[in-house]
Chain A
Amino acid sequence: MIEITDLRKLYVMGEEEVAALAGVTLSIGRGENVAVIGPSGSGKSSLMNILGGLDRPSSGAYRFDGEDVGGFTDDELAAFRRQRIGFVFQSFQLLPRLTALQNVELPMIYAGLPPRDRRDRAAALLDRVGLGTRMGHKPTQLSGGQQQRVAIARSLANSPDLLLADEPTGALDTHTGQEVLALFRQLNSEGLTLIIVTHDLDVAAAARRRISFRDGLVVEDEREAAA
């Protein structure tokens, strides 16, 4: 599904040019469960931003299902994020003014779904993540784990091909973190491609494939033997 070839991302810092990604070649197949690990500054966040269509590579190719995402316009990237990608962030990124239900509806509003359809789907998704009774709650009325589950429901709103999670358990205690990971595993087992960016080795251990980054390069790519 994902084919990246000699991907580079350069930033200009003062007079120096820093390579966040220094030539990464990777391919990730549909239905994989991947953990991208590495210390901060290793380039894993840059990779995730490019994979999610939030950023463009400086050079190299990024093909998603054969499409050249690297050459997309702003509007094409927006459509790509809307239809094919689901994001889960460390800090949840829920809109505080909106209820859980409205937060989950948001991507479907941008996709142009009629109000009744998107409400039904948002309710079903919240049910699915175990928050069927909390739909009218504002984020501030929910615990961290509950907020992250709302965010996961939102990421699934437009039935994405790829779920990108950036330190999804970073703001959670161990127990709720495990619950969230269990939810991810379940989604993956239903066929959703999952990429989790983390520096937590326990989180990484739960994945089927671990890609380690250092200084903008892949230093290790290990797969769990098929069980």
Chain B
Amino acid sequence: MRPIELLRFATGAIIAHPMRSALTSLGVVIGVAAVVMMTSIGLGAQQRVTSTIAGLGSNLIIVSPGASRAGGGGGGGGFVMGAAGSGQTLTDSDAETIAKQVEGVVAVAPVVRGQVQLIADGANWNTRIEGVTPDYLVARDLTLASGRMFDEREARQGKKAIVIGQTVATELWGDLDPIGRRVRVRGVPFEVIGVLASKGQSSFGQDQDDVVLGPLGAVRSRIVGRRARGTTVQTIYVKAADADSLDRVQEDTTNLLRDLHRIRPGDSDDFQTQNMASILQASQAAVATFTILLAAVAAVSLLVGGVGIMNIMLVAVTERTREIGLRMAVGAKRTDILIQFALESITLSLAGGLIGLTIGVLGAVAIAKLGSWPVAIPAWAGPVSLGFSSLVGLVFGAYPSWRAARLDPIEALRRE
């Protein structure tokens, strides 16, 4: 007996009932397609989150006011910027002291934020405004497309100069060069002195070019005054020299701020620090959990598909009892029968897996094309889905095949 002949018997039986075979495989088709699509969506989200966080600036520590909440406050709290900055415990002098005293710091950038209506030359536009110091560009890895950034002196003196994002430039002046033009912010005229290089959309759909940067002092006193009294700031970005010193800089910063805020040993901080590495880890873990959840739901449908195959295989064994008896009478061994039916089940499932993989990949590509949802098809999708569908066929075909092989040839031949 040549193994290839058993495979031919198996495929012959499948082809003999095309409609039934297609319906039998459908469960596996849906299961595999769902697994492939779900993991592609999950992986896509993970990659986008990673690139977004990396885009915030490398080797960055984010210091926010307010005590960190237990549990969920970690990565998520700092990631949704501003939400954690409800307290008002951080000040300009904190930032200055960090810059002076913590070793291995490249840039320290205190920030206040607000939402404003810009009016210029008849056009108006609602956008985010950030009050910053020149170091902000270094901390966030931002560059200018044209013009210049205000310097330290201008910032301190409260010069009314702003640097705008590409979106703001386009919305207010179209294709015209915005440098030197005036814009009214809450009634206060500012001069545009620079335009930021475009960063595009973040993965959460936020337009990163829809922002204006103004000098910290001026923005705080004139624009977000109600929310940021005195010299308080909402966030301090601390950029470490390299990734290796990130943890130490975070620790030194924390200790320094505890001293500055006169927090006694044992009391909890009135601020929180997060470094990009830990935020990245936390958000990747969250996305991974999400992906596993999706894949698990999809895997259940794969199991249901397997049960469908088992059901039809049991029907096939009953239906073909006489055939099995005849095969035994002309000399088939029990293992020949066993393998023939197992191969039939595996082929059904594997064919379903192949079709499901195709649909899953096409579906993932379609989601990437049509929706704005990020999609990345994992390299292992092919081998794993085909391997799994073979396994489903093997596992759920095992019992029907065993039943077929155990038949008594005399009884089987007598069956109508």
Contact = CB atoms under 8 A, between A and B. Distances in A.
Interface of A: 49, 52, 54-55, 74-75, 78-79, 81-83, 87, 89, 93, 95, 97, 106-107, 109-112, 154, 157-158
Interface string B400-414: 000000000110010
Contacts of A83: 331
Contacts of B1: 109-112
B332 interface: yes
Contacts of B325: 93
Contact of A78 (B16, B326, B328, B413): B328
B329 A75 contact: no
Q: Which of B2, B327, B329 has the most CB of A within 10 A?
A: B329
Contact of B331 (A89, A97, A107): A107
A3 to B, nearest CB: 23
A154 B326 CA distance: 11
A51 to B, nearest CB: 13
Given A54-B409, A55-B410, A93 B329 contact: yes
Interface of B: 1-2, 5, 12-13, 16, 322-323, 325-336, 409-410, 413
Given A54-B329, A81-B331, A97-B12, A109 B413 contact: no
Contacts of B329: 52, 54, 81, 87, 93
Nearest to B8: A109
A78 B332 contact: yes
Nearest to B416: A91
A78 B1 CA distance: 12
A5 B285 CA distance: 77
Given A49-B410, A106-B327, A112-B2, 6 more contacts: A55-B410, A74-B333, A78-B333, A81-B328, A83-B331, A93-B325
6 contacts: A54-B328, A75-B333, A75-B334, A75-B335, A93-B413, A110-B332
A110 B326 CA distance: 12
A87 B326 CA distance: 9
Contact of A154 (B16, B330, B332): B330
A46 to B, nearest CB: 9
Contacts of A87: 329-330
A154 B374 CA distance: 62
Nearest to A155: B330
Given A55-B410, A75-B333, A83-B331, A109 B326 contact: no
A41 B413 CA distance: 18
Contacts of B409: 54
Contacts of A78: 328, 331-334, 336
Nearest to A111: B331
A109 B5 contact: yes
A89 B336 contact: no
Given A95-B323, A112-B1, A112-B2, A106 B413 contact: no
A112 B331 CA distance: 11
List the 6 closest A-B pairs by CB distance, nearest first.
A82-B331, A107-B330, A78-B333, A110-B331, A93-B326, A54-B409
Contact of A82 (B12, B322, B330): B330
A95 B333 CA distance: 18
A95 B410 CA distance: 16
B249 to A, nearest CB: 74
Contacts of A75: 333-335
A109 B333 CA distance: 12
Given A54-B409, A93-B413, A95-B326, A74 B331 contact: no
A54 B407 CA distance: 12
A70 B2 CA distance: 28
Contacts of A74: 333-334
A97 B16 contact: yes
Nearest to B17: A97
Nearest to B405: A74
A106 B330 contact: yes
A125 B115 CA distance: 93
B326 A81 contact: no
Contacts of B323: 95
A87 B1 CA distance: 20
A81 B334 contact: no
Contacts of B13: 97
Contacts of A82: 330-332
Contact of B322 (A93, A107, A111): A93
Nearest to B12: A97
B75 to A, nearest CB: 62
B330 A89 contact: no
Q: Which of B12, B329, B331, B334 has the most CB of A within 10 A?
A: B331
Nearest to A82: B331
A83 B5 CA distance: 18
B324 to A, nearest CB: 11
A158 B331 contact: yes
Nearest to A81: B331
Given A79-B331, A93-B322, A110 B16 contact: no
Given A82-B330, A93-B322, A110 B336 contact: yes
Nearest to A55: B410
A89 B413 contact: yes
A118 to B, nearest CB: 10
Contacts of B332: 78, 82, 110
Contacts of B410: 49, 54-55
A80 to B, nearest CB: 8
